[in-house]
Amino acid sequence: MTLAALKQAVLEANLATVRHGLVKATFGNASGIDRVSERIAIKPSGVPYEEMTADHMVITDLAGTTFDNRFRPSSDLDTHLVLYRAFPTIGAIIHTHSTYATIMAQARRPIPPLGTTHADYFHGTIPVTRDLTAEEITERYVEATGEVIAETVGSGDPLAIPAVLVAGHGPFVWGRDPEQAVLNAMILEEVAKMAWHGAALDAAPPPISQTLLDRHYLRKHGANATYGQ
Ligand SMILES: [Zn+2]
């Protein structure tokens, strides 16, 4: 992927989060990485969405070194860097404070697979991190946020469940590319909304069966995926 194409894709992902109502004010950021050149493009800090162009995207390497000094990168850059280093298969990251996903993150409530909307995109429960320690918050907050996400994913496949709810904060979502990350962020908000409203009928509804979960997830994402071809 050329740098210009990466910047354009990351710009579009940032704009899409606003267009889909996932990001209000400045509570959000999207980035993407070209794994061949190991260049990351991320939303700049302090540039209004209405004025944002592909050229505003800040380019860094995996260590966070920036390659031009015209704009500062998003203040969440270090979280993105930790995740790109921890999960070599992901190609884009989106952070939002989308309402229902954030409600779940604030309630420390994981989102189990309650239906096939969830199963089409997330192959299991969307987890919540532990709370950061006082030391993590004081000494190395942004980086520690990435580390606690990686700790929560553990040895799991980050692309099988491409989102984590950061306790008391909000969701971080990813995908193979910026477009897929946007879709995952939208579906996450949708399943969080359904889980929230569903709790009015049944406080702890049973998750769908593993068979139904597999059926829906694997037809879109498995080695034998048949969906959408
Ligand atoms: Zn945030």
Kindly list the structural domains of the chain, giving each domain's residue range(s) and its CATH number in brackets, ordered by start.
3-218 (3.40.225.10)
Per DSSP, the chain holds a count of helices (H) and strands (E) of 7, 6
Confidence of residue 228 (pLDDT cuts 50, 70, 90): low
| pLDDT reading at 21 higher than 70 | yes
The alpha carbon of 96 and the centre of ligand 1 are apart by a number of angstroms equal to: 6
Strand partners, 60: 40, 66
Active-site choice (120, 131, 141, 157): 120
By DSSP bridging, strand 39-42 and strand 58-60 are antiparallel
148-153: Cβ within 8 A, 24+ apart: 149/79, 149/82, 149/83, 150/82, 150/83, 150/86, 150/87, 152/127, 152/128, 153/86, 153/87, 153/127
Active-site residue 141, yes or no? no
Q: If you measure from the C-alpha of residue 216 to the centroid of ligand 1, how many angstroms do you get, rounded to a whole number?
A: 31
Please tell me the pTM assigned to this model. Answer: 0.96
**For residue 14, is pLDDT > 70?**
yes
CA of 229 to the centre of ligand 1 (A): 36
Distance 95 CA to ligand 1 centre (A): 7
**What are 34's strand-pairing partners?**
39
What pLDDT score was predicted for residue 224? 75
Mean pLDDT of the chain: 95
Split at pLDDT 50, 70, 90, the class of 75 is very high
58 DSSP β-pair partners: 42
With a cut of 60, say whether residue 150 has pLDDT above it: yes
Please tell me the distance between residue 23's alpha carbon and the centre of ligand 1 in angstroms.
10
pLDDT-based confidence at residue 227 (cuts at 50, 70, 90): low
Pinpoint the alpha helices (H) of 154-224: 178-198, 210-221
Contact 12, 4 (CB under 8 A): no
Please, which residues bridge with residue 31 across strands? 42, 93
**Poorest-confidence range of 15-24, 65-74, 151-160?**
65-74
Mean pLDDT value of segment 161-188: 98
* CB 182 within 8 Å of CB 188: no
First to last CA, the chain: 24
